[in-house]
Amino acid sequence: IVGILICLCVVLYTNNSAAKSVADINRDRLFHLREVCERTNNGGKTAIETSFYIHVKNESLLYCLVFKSGTTSWFYNINRWAGISEEKILDDKTDNFMLARKMHPWENPRVLLTSMKNTYSFIVVRDPFERLISAYEERLLGQIHPYFKNLSHQIYKRYHDDGQEFGIPSFQDFARYVVDQFRNKKPSDLHWRPINDLCTPCLARYDSIMKMETFAQDLEYLKNRTHLHEKIKSVQMNHSRRDPIKRLIEKYYSQLTKQQFDDLYDIYKIDFELFQYSPDKYAKFVKPTE
Predicted local distance difference test score (pLDDT) of residue 108: 97
Q: Could you list the residue range(s) of the whole structural domain that residue 186 is in?
A: 22-284
In a domain, 5, yes or no: no
Three-state secondary structure readout of the chain:
CHHHHHHHHHHHHHHHHHCCCHHHHHHHHHHHHHHHHHHCCHHHCCCCCCCCEEEEHHHCEEEECCCCCCHHHHHHHHHHHCCCCHHHHCCCCCCHHHHHHHHCCCCCHHHHHHHHHHCEEEEEECCHHHHHHHHHHHHHHCCCCHHHHHHHHHHHHHHCCCCCCCCCCCHHHHHHHHHHHHHCCCCCCCCCCCHHHHHCHHHCCCCEEEEHHHHHHHHHHHHHHCCCCCCCCCCCCCCCCCCCHHHHHHHHHCCCEHHHHHHHHHHHHHHHHHCCCCCHHHHCCCECCC
Predicted local distance difference test score (pLDDT) of residue 18: 58
In a domain, 14, yes or no: no
Type of residue numbered 252: Y
In a domain, 52, yes or no: yes
Predicted local distance difference test score (pLDDT) of residue 143: 77
**Number of domains composing the chain:** 1
Indicate the pTM of the whole model.
0.90
Of residues 67, 65, 68, the one with CA closest to residue 78: 65
User: From CA 273, how far away is CA 290, in angstroms rounded?
Assistant: 29
In a domain, 134, yes or no: yes
In a domain, 202, yes or no: yes
In a domain, 236, yes or no: yes
pLDDT tens, 236-284? 655 555 689 999 999 999 999 999 999 999 999 999 999 999 999 999 9
Cα distances from 266 to residues 41, 102, 239, 272, in angstroms, run 17, 35, 30, 10
In a domain, 48, yes or no: yes
Predicted local distance difference test score (pLDDT) of residue 145: 85
Q: What is the pLDDT along the chain (290 residues), one digit of tens a residue?
A: 645 555 555 445 445 545 789 999 999 999 999 999 999 999 999 999 999 999 999 999 999 999 999 999 999 999 999 999 999 999 988 999 999 999 999 999 999 999 999 999 999 999 999 999 999 999 999 877 899 999 999 999 999 988 887 889 999 999 999 999 999 999 899 999 999 999 999 999 999 999 999 999 999 999 999 999 999 998 865 555 568 999 999 999 999 999 999 999 999 999 999 999 999 999 999 988 65
In a domain, 3, yes or no: no
Type of residue numbered 191: H
Of residues 245, 284, 247, the one with CA closest to residue 127: 245
> What contacts 180, CB < 8 A, 6 or more positions away?
none
- Bridge partners (DSSP) listed for residue 55: 62
Beta-carbon count within 10 A of 87 CB: 8
User: From CA 59, how far away is CA 42, in angstroms rounded?
Assistant: 29
User: Do the Cβ atoms of 256 and 249 come closer than 8 Å?
Assistant: no
